[in-house]
Amino acid sequence: MSQTQRNGRIIFHIDMNSFYASVEVAYDPSLKGKPLAIAGNAKDRKGIVVTSSYEARKYGVKAPMPLWEAKKLCPSLIVRSPNFERYRSSSKEMFSLLREYTDLVEPVSIDEGYMDLTNTRFHEYAMITAKEIQQRLLDELLLPSSIGIAPNKFLAKMASNMKKPLGITVLRKRELKTLLWPMPIHNMHGIGEKTAEKLLKLNITTIGDLALTEEFQLKQALGVNGTRLKNRALGTDTREVNPDSINEFKSIGNSSTLPHDSSDKDEINNLLQKLSASVSRRLKRKEVVASKLSIMIRYADWKTVTRHKRLNNPTDLETELVQEASALFYKHWNGEPIRLAGITGMDLIERDKAFKQLDLFTFTDDAKKEPIYKLVSKINEKYGTDAIKKGLKGKSKESNSGGTSFNKDFLSNNNEDE
């Protein structure tokens, strides 16, 4: 048996602390140690706090708080508008530094990722390596981070959340009963508000309760997800650190051929409605939402056109799917009779991990369109979470290719911290 097999895997989860605020401090050192908030419409009372420095959080300033409320809590609050290119640049530098230690680096979002050091020369020096990485991120990029070290991705993620800012936490399987199991169930990575509510109805209030609950009972309440969550609570997670996962293509779609070639808009609208309903049902059944939409048009002469559009917000709702699909269809339909149409939801995200992405490209427009509390209420209703999570997403645009953006649009934890 090799040394690596005997000692198990060494997985790091790197989580940058208050990333957007920290990047601003790195570019303007005069902001260091001061209460800082990144917010849309920084000069407008309707602005939304995207994230805040730890100094500001001491006053209760947090996302997604209206800016007027944040300033009421902290009159000395400094507010900066987000700088998209600056955050992307710092993120790329961060991941570039991590890849100096291993090729197995998996970006999860703009400010967090996994590393697998199992088969590297750093395997025997995990804590020393973690301290070195954390210090280099501070010295070279001026960015603070927390690092979790564990034998798998789930435990590494949980470990990195245990001490912020600038924490390094090792979580071993033999420590689950003392360190992990006493934690409230809603603090477990992968459990959203709706899932937590279902578990609470079963008197499952801690991660330990989940680990000790019969699998049959969990499957009745949560389906196959119940088994997965129980395994995680028991410290089992076989997922590999996959550098290519950010480019994985996942989709759910449906297409249908008309009984005859048609250019009748009513007939086409009915078809798009039925296709959207079908895709919506399948998305909900698999408990995922689509962050990208594709339509296919096949004409009477069999010429086929496909077009893609990244959605402003991930969705599984029939009304939103048909609205987006119809707009995309009519933009690219040349008016000639068609024989077939198709709709596909792409770049799928687990529903519990989906979030309204206000923090970069969409929050300014959203704030203009409706009051923040109404917006948050709508998000709660759709995704079952009481907090708008972090993330980065490119501007909505159409593409003729099936590629993905650099930033993975999912998987935030239940903390507001980046």
DSSP secondary structure letters along 24-40: HHHH-GGGTTS-EEEES
The answer to whether 111 is a known ligand-binding residue is yes
Q: Is residue 316 part of an annotated ligand binding site?
A: no
Tokens of 29: 């050192």
Please state whether the peptide bond connecting residue 259 to the residue before it is cis, i.e. omega within 30 degrees of 0: no
Output the CA angle 354-360-366, nearest 5 degrees. 80
- Dihedral class, residue 223 (left if φ above 0, else alpha if ψ from -120 to 50, else beta): left
Cα 87 to Cα 13, 146, 199, 405: the distances in Å are 19, 18, 37, 15
Does 240 qualify as catalytic in the annotation?
A: no
* One-letter identity of residue 251: S
| Alpha-helix residue ranges (DSSP H) falling in 213-290 | 215-222, 224-233, 265-285
Candidates 112, 318, 320, 418; catalytic one = 112
Report residue 85: phi and psi, to 5°: -65, -35
Question: Angle 211-217-219 (CA atoms, 0-180°, nearest 5)?
Answer: 90
Question: How many other C-beta atoms can be found within 10 angstroms of the C-beta atom of residue 388?
Answer: 25
Residues belonging to the chain: 418
Tokens, residue 331: 């933009």
Terminal Cα distance for the chain, rounded: 40
Alpha helices in 50-179 (DSSP H): 54-57, 67-73, 84-98, 126-141, 153-160
Residues involved in catalysis: 112
Binding positions: 15, 111
Binding positions for Mg(2+): 15, 111
